[in-house]
């Protein structure tokens, strides 16, 4: 006799053995399971977004560093007190609201109730104060606040206050701006880190938590939905409103090769590519499964950066001569190609299409380019044939293109060009040297500035003309510095516009740097992804995958 | 033999010390600044200077080198300047894909190249020989990244047989693991096959002209035994040497292949580290590679005794 149980088929033994109809139902379910599996797998796949960022996420501190890719990741993990919308108007985010004194010297803020960090701790004003103190050391606007600060104090767990000795009208913009360093709120213990050292614990209160255990720098970064995130009731718009995450996981996949990223998007292995190479855009546009559109409506401004400390560009006539001959069309076609939708000439240091844009004083960049006039000016200054050390990062497509156009331009107007082809890491180190080019210094390097950083002087470090303390190239101009202060103190939009017009004029008179044109970049995503918006950073909230 | 192996392993210590000093000096002298990269494009020169000081990069060479060497001797490769993650952890994360790629590439290359070389030698001057030589020349001539792009375009984008990029750990199953690595292994193996096939052919030609082979033929030994038992075994020493030397070539090739197929291996780790001047990571990876290379050479030396009993250590 077998000790195995009897076959479970008896109809009359309810409760102990399986009925025939149960068996049939089970068998049918088992047979159907493989058919159901793909839809379950699909549903799970729909909760995961695979995203290719603009660059490798090499660190995760958007206060100590200003890399855009780090800022973009940080905006998911950490929240801000205020956040700008698409009109760059700051809206309450972690804050419930604020009160400000009539003299704009006392700003009192109240946090929303129920805010939590990813480690489960409540967000309190002690965290806010410590975070803002760290941020104020590194951020230009923060430094101005710090310079006017009598006290930043936590009144209770949800209320904190700035007491200033001078009015500061742009407090909300400073707390809600998207430009790095962003005023991110982190736990007090982390915010106490030296502002010049990278944090090593990535705990925020934003809609996604960072999975440090899954981080493979240079290859993959994973963000997981934070279940306790307190979503605002309003619709989400840029950094303002409700940040509703439709994904359980967002995986940043970092192929080091643009062609591989393009192929992966075409093959459906990734869902969204932040900055496709312009050369690959026509190919992607031909693919019916892929959408291609402008990524950031605020675009970018190309930059030919002079070293104001070293000859020949310590002479303003040499800088002006370059601007007289500089053709933005040449630069833009080299950078983004022939598509006229992607670039425009702009005789301004500010972002076209924004509220305070001005091209006052930008005549030197308009009309027919004056090679002969530039030569004549250089001859007057005794600089014809002067040696110019042009340091070009050849591993970055934009700077490579700009550098090659500049080399040609400089030769045409009579300079002797020493073209140093190198990588961005070397440019980053070399541009910090104030020594003569013969001792490891430089005369010109190229970069570009995000249009979002050029909407006003606050985040615009490249415009600063504070001499030794200014950005690389160390330009000095009292008129420019006064223009920046005038903008900070402007009480309304009209006053801001006047300040910006004067500032633009002063910048061109000083030839602070050479704006090589305004250009846009594309982003590309699969058709099954919806909710992708145009913004200066990838906005993940509201994006879904079918 | 064991005494020899132990002596060789001990001899790696001064080699590693020289490598360490060389790599550290090279990085110290090379242009570039991780502080500038951390600070980002918007940072001021003063910010960069402060970050450099906070990283200790403004300290004298000897102090930095001594500190690093002491930590290495204590089994600590340091932490990444950018991620604050331990270098050993970062290497551990990346070692499996790289080793997998190398193992698969070597398996693929040896299993194709050696028979190709043997057959080419056997059929010297015939069309088979010429075909093998054409394949070998093509393998040498076409860069790995071009082979990679062509394979990805054909077999991933057009035929959809393989994924374009990425890596699946072996723990997730042999099938997905091979599926992800098949194209990279073929791409990386193409040049190695060419080298190995040519060496095998040349060595086999020499062996097949020896008196003992003629004797074997005269005795009526069948062709298969002549080629693979009498011939190949005696030709094995130079082939094994080339396989060992080729390992270094594969490390270099893996850097390119891992980039083309977005494999999160050690090759990409070191390239990314070089581009952003993450000194502890570069130093850690180079030390590891040099150690692996020394060990591979030792294994090759020991394998000689298997193929040629006359060799004794």
Model pLDDT for residues A224-250, shown as the tens digit of each residue:
999 999 999 999 999 999 999 999 999
Give residue-wise pLDDT tens across range A357-387. Answer: 999 999 999 999 999 999 999 999 999 999 9
A254, A256, A428 ranked by CB distance to B271: nearest: A256
| Residue B96 contacts A, CB cutoff 8 Å | no
Which one has a higher pLDDT value, A14 or A74?
Answer: A74
Q: Which helix (H) or strand (E) holds A429?
A: helix A424-430
User: How many Cβ atoms sit within 10 Å of the Cβ of residue B192?
Assistant: 25
B285/chain A closest Cα distance in angstroms: 14
Main-chain phi, psi angles of A137, to 5 degrees = -70, -35
pLDDT of residue A253: 96
Which one has a higher pLDDT value, B222 or B41?
Answer: B222
Contact A58 B83 (CB under 8 A): yes
Give residue-wise pLDDT tens across range B144-157. Answer: 999 999 999 999 99
pLDDT of residue A6: 37
Within A254-311, strands assigned E span 272-273, 290-294, 300-306
ipTM of the complex as predicted: 0.82
Residue B118 to residues A65, A238, A276, A416, B261: CA-CA distances in angstroms?
A: 59, 66, 47, 60, 32
The mean pLDDT of B17-27, rounded to a whole number, is 86
pLDDT of residue B35: 87
pLDDT of residue A14: 40
Q: Which of chain B's residues have a Cβ under 8 Å away from the Cβ of A220?
A: 264
What DSSP line would sit under A322-387, residue for residue?
HHHH--HHHHHHHHH-S-GGGEE---SSS-TTSTT---TT-GGGSSS--HHHHHHHHHHTT-TT-E
Quote the DSSP letter at residue A237: B
The mean pLDDT of B236-262, rounded to a whole number, is 86
Give residue-wise pLDDT tens across range B71-108. Answer: 988 989 999 999 989 999 999 999 999 999 999 999 99
For residue A453, give the chain B residue with the closest CA. Answer: B42
Q: Which of chain A's residues have a Cβ under 8 Å away from the Cβ of B272?
A: 56, 58, 217-218, 256
Give residue-wise pLDDT tens across range A80-101. Answer: 999 999 999 999 999 999 999 9
The pLDDT of residue B24 is above 50 = yes
Q: Which of A33-42, A162-171, A298-307, B202-211 has the lowest mean pLDDT?
A: A33-42
The pLDDT of residue A15 is above 50 = no
Contact by Cβ (8 Å): A496, A485: no
The mean pLDDT of B122-137, rounded to a whole number, is 92
pLDDT band at residue A7 using 50, 70 and 90 as cut-offs: very low
Contact B262 A253 (CB under 8 A): yes
pLDDT of residue A43: 66
Contact by Cβ (8 Å): A479, A509: yes
Which one has a higher pLDDT value, B30 or B35?
Answer: B35
A199, A256, A471 ranked by CB distance to B268: nearest: A256
For residue A68, give the chain B residue with the closest CA. Answer: B40
Contact B262 A263 (CB under 8 A): no
pLDDT of residue A22: 54
CA-based R_g, chain A, Å: 28
The pLDDT of residue B241 is above 90 = no
Distance CA A81, CA A385 (A): 54
Q: Which of A203-207, A476-480, B211-215 has the lowest mean pLDDT?
A: B211-215
Give residue-wise pLDDT tens across range B259-298. Answer: 999 999 999 999 889 888 899 999 999 888 888 888 888 8
Q: Which of chain A's residues have a Cβ under 8 Å away from the Cβ of B101?
A: none
pLDDT of residue A395: 83
Give residue-wise pLDDT tens across range B201-212. Answer: 999 999 999 999
pLDDT of residue B29: 81
The pLDDT of residue B109 is above 70 = yes
| Residue B93 contacts A, CB cutoff 8 Å | yes
Contact by Cβ (8 Å): B284, B85: no
pLDDT of residue B25: 87
Q: What is the dihedral of CA A142, A145, A151, A154, to 10 degrees?
A: -50
B51, B83, B153 ranked by CB distance to A217: nearest: B83
If you count residue pairs, one on A and one on B, with CB atoms under 8 Å apart, how many are there? 157
The pLDDT of residue B231 is above 70 = yes
Provide, rounded to the nearest whole percent, the portion of chain B with pLDDT above 70: 100
pLDDT of residue A21: 52
Contact by Cβ (8 Å): A193, A131: no
- The overall average pLDDT reported for chain A is 91
Q: Which of chain A's residues have a Cβ under 8 Å away from the Cβ of B152?
A: 260, 263
Give residue-wise pLDDT tens across range B158-189. Answer: 999 999 999 999 999 999 999 999 999 999 99
Q: Which helix (H) or strand (E) holds A316?
A: helix A316-325
Interface of B with A in 238-297 (CB under 8 A): 259-262, 264, 268-269, 271-272, 275-278
Provide, rounded to the nearest whole percent, the portion of chain A with pLDDT above 90: 81
The pLDDT of residue A18 is above 50 = no
pLDDT of residue B151: 95
Interface test with A, best of B94, B155, B164, B263 (most A CBs within 10 A): B164
| Residue B50 contacts A, CB cutoff 8 Å | yes
| Residue B36 contacts A, CB cutoff 8 Å | yes
Contact by Cβ (8 Å): A274, A481: no
Contact B160 A472 (CB under 8 A): no
Give residue-wise pLDDT tens across range A313-334. Answer: 999 999 999 999 999 999 999 9
pLDDT of residue B43: 82
Task: Tell me the β-bridge partners of A110.
Answer: A97, A159
Interface test with A, best of B38, B85, B91 (most A CBs within 10 A): B38
pLDDT band at residue A265 using 50, 70 and 90 as cut-offs: very high
Separation of first and last alpha carbons in chain A:
57
Q: Which of A112-121, A529-538, B38-47 has the lowest mean pLDDT?
A: B38-47
Distance CA A505, CA A365 (A): 12
What DSSP line would sit under chain B, residue for residue?
-HHHHHHHHHHHHHHHHHHHHHHHHHHHHS---HHHHHH-TT--HHHHHHHHHHHTTTS-HHHHHHHHHHHHHTT---B-TTT--BHHHHHHHHHHHHHHHHHHHHHHHHHHHHHHHHHHHHTTTSHHHHHHHHHHHHHHHS-HHHHHHHHIIIIIIIS-SS-SS----GGG-HHHHHHHHHHHHHHHHHHHHHHHHHHHHHHHHHHHTSHHHHHHHHTT--HHHIIIIIIHHHHHHHHHHHHHHHHHHHHHHHHHHHHHTT--SHHHHHHHHHHHT-HHHHHHHHHHHHHHHHHHHHHHHHHHHHH-TT---
Contact A425 B269 (CB under 8 A): no
């Amino acid at each position: 006799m077998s000790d195995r149980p009897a076959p479970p088929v008896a109809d009359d033994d309810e409760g102990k053995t399986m009925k025939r109809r149960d068996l049939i139902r089970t068998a049918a379910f088992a047979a159907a399971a493989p058919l159901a599996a793909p839809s379950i797998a699909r549903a799970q796949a729909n909760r995961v977004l695979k995203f290719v960022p603009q660059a490798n996420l090499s660190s995760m501190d958007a206060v100590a560093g200003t890399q855009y890719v780090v800022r973009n990741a940080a905006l998911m993990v950490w929240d801000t007190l205020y956040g700008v919308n698409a009109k760059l108007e700051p809206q309450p985010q972690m804050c419930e609201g604020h009160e400000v004194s009539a003299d704009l010297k006392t700003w009192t803020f109240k946090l929303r109730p129920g805010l939590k960090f990813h480690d489960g701790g409540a967000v309190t004003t002690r965290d806010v104060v410590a975070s803002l103190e760290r941020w104020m050391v590194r951020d230009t606007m923060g430094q101005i606040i710090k310079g006017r600060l009598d006290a930043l104090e936590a009144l209770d767990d949800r209320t904190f206050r700035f007491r200033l000795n001078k009015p500061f009208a742009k407090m909300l913009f400073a707390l809600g701006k998207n430009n790095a360093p962003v005023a991110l709120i982190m736990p007090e213990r982390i915010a106490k880190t030296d502002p010049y050292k990278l944090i090593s614990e990535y705990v925020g209160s934003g809609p996604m938590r960072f999975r440090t255990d899954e981080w493979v720098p240079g290859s993959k970064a994973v963000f997981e939905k934070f279940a306790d995130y307190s979503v605002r009731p309003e619709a989400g718009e840029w950094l303002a409103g409700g940040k509703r995450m439709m994904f359980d996981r967002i995986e940043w996949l970092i192929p080091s090769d643009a062609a591989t990223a393009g192929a992966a998007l075409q093959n459906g292995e990734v869902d969204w590519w932040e900055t496709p190479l312009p050369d690959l855009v026509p190919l992607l546009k031909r693919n019916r499964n892929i959408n291609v559109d402008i990524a950031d409506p605020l675009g970018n401004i190309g930059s030919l950066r002079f070293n104001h400390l070293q000859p020949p560009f310590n002479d303003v006539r040499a800088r002006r001569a370059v601007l007289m001959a500089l053709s933005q069309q040449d630069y833009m076609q080299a950078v983004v190609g022939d598509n006229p939708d992607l670039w425009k000439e702009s005789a301004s240091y500010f972002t076209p299409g924004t509220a305070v844009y001005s091209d006052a004083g930008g005549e030197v960049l308009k009309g027919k380019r004056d090679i002969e006039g530039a030569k004549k000016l250089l001859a007057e200054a005794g600089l014809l044939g002067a040696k110019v050390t042009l340091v070009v990062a050849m591993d970055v497509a934009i700077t490579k293109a700009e550098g090659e156009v500049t080399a040609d331009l400089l030769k045409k107007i009579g300079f002797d060009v020493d073209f140093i082809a190198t990588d961005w890491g070397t440019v980053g180190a070399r541009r910090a040297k104030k020594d003569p080019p013969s001792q490891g210094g430089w005369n010109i390097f190229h970069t570009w500035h995000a249009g979002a950083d050029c909407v006003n002087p606050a985040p615009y470090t490249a415009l600063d003309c504070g001499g030794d303390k200014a950005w690389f190239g160390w330009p000095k101009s009292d008129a420019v510095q006064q223009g920046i202060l005038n903008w900070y103190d402007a009480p309304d939009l009209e006053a801001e516009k006047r300040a910006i017009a004067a500032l633009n004029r002063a910048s061109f008179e000083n030839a602070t740097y050479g704006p090589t044109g305004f250009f846009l970049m594309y982003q590309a995503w699969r058709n099954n992804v919806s909710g992708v918006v145009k913004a200066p950073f990838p906005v993940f909230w509201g994006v879904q995958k079918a | 033999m064991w005494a020899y192996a132990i002596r060789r392993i001990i001899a790696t210590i001064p080699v590693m010390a020289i490598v360490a000093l060389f790599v550290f000096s090279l990085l110290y002298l090379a242009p570039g600044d991780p502080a500038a990269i951390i600070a980002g494009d918007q940072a001021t020169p003063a910010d960069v200077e402060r970050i450099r000081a906070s990283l200790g990069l403004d300290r004298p060479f000897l102090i930095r080198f001594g500190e690093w060497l002491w930590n290495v001797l204590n089994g600590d490769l340091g932490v990444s300047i950018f991620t604050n993650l331990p270098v050993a952890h970062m290497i551990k994360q990346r070692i499996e894909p790289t080793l997998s790629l190398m193992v698969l590439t070597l398996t693929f290359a040896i299993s194709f190249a050696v028979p190709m070389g043997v057959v080419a030698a056997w059929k010297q001057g015939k069309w088979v020989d010429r075909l093998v030589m054409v394949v070998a020349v093509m393998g040498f001539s076409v860069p790995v990244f071009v082979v990679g792009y062509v394979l990805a375009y054909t077999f991933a984008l057009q035929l959809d047989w393989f994924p374009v990029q990425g890596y699946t750990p072996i723990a997730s199953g042999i099938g997905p693991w091979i599926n992800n690595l098949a194209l990279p292994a073929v791409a990386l193996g193409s040049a190695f096959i060419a080298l190995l096939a040519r060496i095998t052919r040349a060595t086999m030609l020499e062996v097949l002209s020896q008196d003992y082979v003629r004797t074997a033929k005269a005795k009526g030994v069948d062709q298969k035994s002549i080629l693979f038992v009498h011939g190949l075994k005696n030709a094995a020493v130079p082939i094994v040497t080339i396989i060992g030397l080729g390992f270094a070539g594969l490390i270099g090739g893996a850097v390119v292949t891992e980039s083309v197929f977005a494999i999160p291996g050690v090759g990409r780790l070191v390239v990314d580290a070089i581009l952003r001047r993450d000194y502890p990571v570069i130093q850690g990876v180079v030390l590891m590679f040099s150690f692996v290379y020394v060990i591979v050479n030792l294994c090759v030396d020991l394998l000689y005794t298997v193929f040629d009993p006359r060799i004794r250590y």
